[in-house]
Amino acid sequence: MTATAQKTGAEEVLFDLTDLYSGPDDPKIESDLSESLKAAEAFRDRYHGKFGKLEAKELAEAVAELERIYSIVSRAGIFAYLRFATDTADPARGALVQSIREKSAKLQTDLLFAELEWLAVEDDRAEELLSDPALKHYRHWLGAQRRFRPYVLTEPEEKILTEKSVTGAGAWTRLFTELTAAMRVTIDGEELPLEQATSRLQRPDRDERKQAAEAITRALEEGLRTRAFIFNTLLLDKATTDRLRGYPSWISERNLSNEAADESVEALVEAVSSRFDIPQRYYTLKAKLLGLDRIADYDRMAPLHSDTVFIEWDEAQRTVQEAYDSFSPVTGDIIRRFFDDKWIDAAALPNKAPGAFCMTTVPGVHPYVLMSYTGDKVSVLTLAHELGHGLHGALAQDLGLLNASTPLTLAETASVFGETITFGKLLEKESDPKKRLDLIAHRLEDAIGTVFRQIAMNRFEDAVHNRRRNEGELSVESISDVWIETQKKMLGESVEITDNYKIWWSHIPHFIGSPGYVYAYAFGFLFSLAIYRRYEQEGSSMVEPYLELLRAGGSDSPENLADIVGLDLADPSFWAGGLETIDSILGEAEELAREISNEE
């Protein structure tokens, strides 16, 4: 039976991809792919064996041509993936994604030599080149590539890895996406996509939440061993690649791409793990507010009162737009274009890829946002979050493909900031003390989910990657045991973890397509929280530095970018300060709960 979920007004909010191509049959797709492949071959003919010997001006010209070639093929790949994400069950859409991936792999093998020859340049010579004004625009990008110098293989070996990735990790990741997108959760005779089913965990009736959790578990049980096999295969694939390259740990490659030292990431993980008392205190408070001795895992997103608010799309749009308008006319105007020009796909449709994301595209084309809007507060804040990514991408676009992309540790800067100002607008509109407490509780749940839960998931990944390397293929039961163990370290005795929850690791896409990604959420949240605190203290004087930070994209190191807004990532107290802010929000919730209790 088809789902008959409540209408949100977002059913026709579909993005328009014609700024990329007119459609899947647009002849420009094939001509762009052909042009990029020919340009890559010409580039190889011109520079192979010479790239590492170029003078600064010549190197700048060569990198500019590389950027142009990658921009052409990226445009086609982004178009194909965005169409696929809206309907993963359509074979034609999947076939187009695969076709472009295969051609992209061919292009990458032709161009691999450039990176390898650049990394082979001796350090002294590289420093001399990078100090030349002719390379100013690409200085950071070229310098950042050299972090990988100890871990590259020979050109023939790199070619093999690149070509095999299409039928290896890329293929397994696509299969996982299709399987989870096709998943249906049956509740009261209705078949719901996973996204809509999980939104029922926010319902006020505990029996409904429990029913939803049990139904989600039943849906996850189907195909569980297949998804576990995919996970095991990708764990081994990464272990093999890491061994061949000589990375010291499973997370090292991710840290290098994030421009973060292993030690700094360990410091973040340790700082957050040392404050697991915060989520435990909150969930203990929530149990009291719900009249329970202890909440269960399916109660964590429950509203604190039964009078829930259903927010239609138009109201969500107004709230988010108002938030961005209040910060700056610049941010407001950019966000308005996402709504007016159809850069958002928000309809909750069958076979749509689960989750939400913002796809930053190529120079000359704006970002796109994809989500499934379900009419609850979480959806409103998700919209604000993804539009923050869109704002960041739009402001950094003029830097070009290579410099616009930020390391993951800073990629959440604008998204969390946008979510925070939107939360402020929601709070301003609410005068009822109980509903205000509900909103503050939601903000705490967001902080817990973005900081503490992500670090708990990092600990899960750390354990399964290392166990897979030491023990061989992991059973479903073994992976589930690690999941529960790492979740319990965060939750302590404050939450009852039911048997149903044991397999909920099996639908999380980050573990599959982006190993090691999750700690960046905690980094970005705490970093963005620090910026917002300064904005609260300094007001409009922080607007231009913040916009400057976003316009800088990934054109400098995280440390230098943070300096634009007056923050020092090297300060040992940086993480502790952000965590103390969350602690103070929790203190506010505890005080408000006492006041309400005394009034009653």
Q: What does the pLDDT look like over 184-233, one tens digit per residue?
A: 999 999 999 988 899 899 889 999 999 999 999 999 999 999 999 999 99
pLDDT of 307 reads 64
Long-range (24+ apart) CB contacts under 8 A made by 460-464 are 460/486, 460/487, 460/505, 460/511, 461/250, 461/511, 461/515, 461/516, 461/518, 462/250, 462/251, 464/231, 464/235
Of residues 87 and 438, the one with the higher pLDDT is 87
Beta bridge partners of 359: 368
CA atoms within 13 A on the CB side of 408: 18
Residue among 383, 382, 200 at smallest CA distance from 301: 200
Mean pLDDT of 296-302: 95
190-193 and 295-296 beta bridge pairing:
unpaired
Instruction: Report the alpha-carbon distance of residue 164 to residue 159 in Å, rounded.
Output: 8
Q: Are 118 and 141 in contact (CB under 8 A)?
A: no
Beta bridge partners of 295: 495
168 token code pair:
């290896």
Q: Are 258 and 520 in contact (CB under 8 A)?
A: yes
Q: Which CATH architecture has domain 174-307+446-513?
A: Orthogonal Bundle (1.10)
* Percentage above 70 pLDDT, the chain: 98
Mean pLDDT of 246-265: 90
Q: Are 555 and 399 in contact (CB under 8 A)?
A: yes
350 token code pair:
């069958």
What are the residues whose beta carbons fall under 8 Å from the beta carbon of 311, sequence distance 6 or more? Answer: 319, 375, 376, 377, 379, 380
Residue among 252, 270, 278 at smallest CA distance from 148: 252
Q: What residue ranges of the chain are covered by domains with CATH 1.10.1370.20?
A: 174-307+446-513
Mean pLDDT of 566-594: 87
Calculate the average pLDDT of the chain: 93
Q: Are 586 and 279 in contact (CB under 8 A)?
A: no
318 pLDDT above the threshold of 50: yes
Of residues 530 and 369, the one with the higher pLDDT is 369
Confidence category of residue 22, pLDDT binned at 50, 70, 90: very high
Q: Are 348 and 8 in contact (CB under 8 A)?
A: yes
Residue among 383, 452, 394 at smallest CA distance from 421: 383
pLDDT of 600 reads 64
Residue among 224, 230, 254 at smallest CA distance from 242: 254
Instruction: Report the alpha-carbon distance of residue 11 to residue 436 in Å, rounded.
Output: 29
3-state secondary structure of 358: strand
Domain 17-164 -> CATH class: mainly alpha
DSSP 178-208: HHHHH-EEEETTEEEEHHHHHHGGG-S-HHH
Beta bridge partners of 184: 193
* Residues 138-176: tens digit of each pLDDT: 999 999 999 999 999 998 999 899 888 888 999 999 999
Q: What residue ranges of the chain are covered by domains with CATH 1.20.140.70?
A: 17-164
* Residues 416-459: tens digit of each pLDDT: 899 999 988 888 888 888 888 888 998 899 899 999 999 999 99
504 token code pair:
């909920």
Instruction: Report the alpha-carbon distance of residue 400 to residue 552 in Å, rounded.
Output: 11
